[in-house]
Structure 1
Amino acid sequence: MSFDHTIKFSGRVEDSESRRALLIAFEALRVKGYNPINQISGYLISGDPAYITNHNNARNIIRSLERDELIEELVRAYMRDQG
């Protein structure tokens, strides 16, 4: 594998689906008393769905998307906030 060239990454999902899944998971975790940032980060790093609560079907909703799609939405939102 050569590291001399840039590989183009193409997103596969509309950001609204990823955004919705992240917001549902965030709110479900908050309601259940978890730290949503820590729990979602744990899920994205490990891939272990046990980091996400089943409350309001949040675990199934977030698992319906690939983790890279969720990370892409997080980067998109962060960059939007940077102006």
Structure 2
Amino acid sequence: MDRQTRMYDNLDKLEQRTIEEILTIVYDALEERGYNAIDQLVGYILSGDPSYITSHNNARNIIGRIERDDLVEELIKSYLHK
């Protein structure tokens, strides 16, 4: 399998991830780098500024693949158990 094929396979897998999986990946990457993950995620959601998210483990790119309004919607649904 060549590099380009692997890249597309990785993109397909990324697009199949749920918002919960993406948040977990990003949260873990932020924690690994010593950040307060909750504060950083809130900053990102409110501002849209990707610099709140570390590039460690490709977290910035991963979270950038979902719309912030979809992220907020999913968080509210999860909080309210809907």
TM-score (structure 1 length as normaliser):
0.74
- Matched to 1:44, the amino acid is I
Tell me the equivalent position of 2:65: 64
Structure with a larger share of its residues in helix: 2
For 1:71 and 1:18, locate their aligned partners in 2 and report how far apart those are by CA, in whole Å.
Answer: 10
1:30-45 alignment runs, 5 A limit: 30-45=31-46
Tell me the equivalent position of 1:74: 75
Segments of structure 1 that go 5 or more residues without pairing to the other structure are 1-15
Tell me the equivalent position of 1:52: 53
For 1:22 and 1:58, locate their aligned partners in 2 and report how far apart those are by CA, in whole Å.
Answer: 9
Tell me the matched-pair count.
66
Q: Cα RMSD over matched residues?
A: 1.4
| Bigger relative contact order (CA 8 A; separation at least 6) | 1
- Matched to 1:36, the amino acid is A
Q: Which stretches of structure 1, 4 residues or longer, exceed 2 Å deviation after superposition?
A: none
For 1:63 and 1:26, locate their aligned partners in 2 and report how far apart those are by CA, in whole Å.
Answer: 14
TM-score (structure 2 length as normaliser):
0.75
SS in 1 for 2:23: helix
Tell me the equivalent position of 1:27: 28
Tell me the equivalent position of 1:18: 19
1:34 offset after TM fit, Å?
0.3
1:66 offset after TM fit, Å?
0.2
Note the alpha carbon deviations across 1:36-71, whole angstroms, 9 max, x for none. 110000000000000000111110000000001111
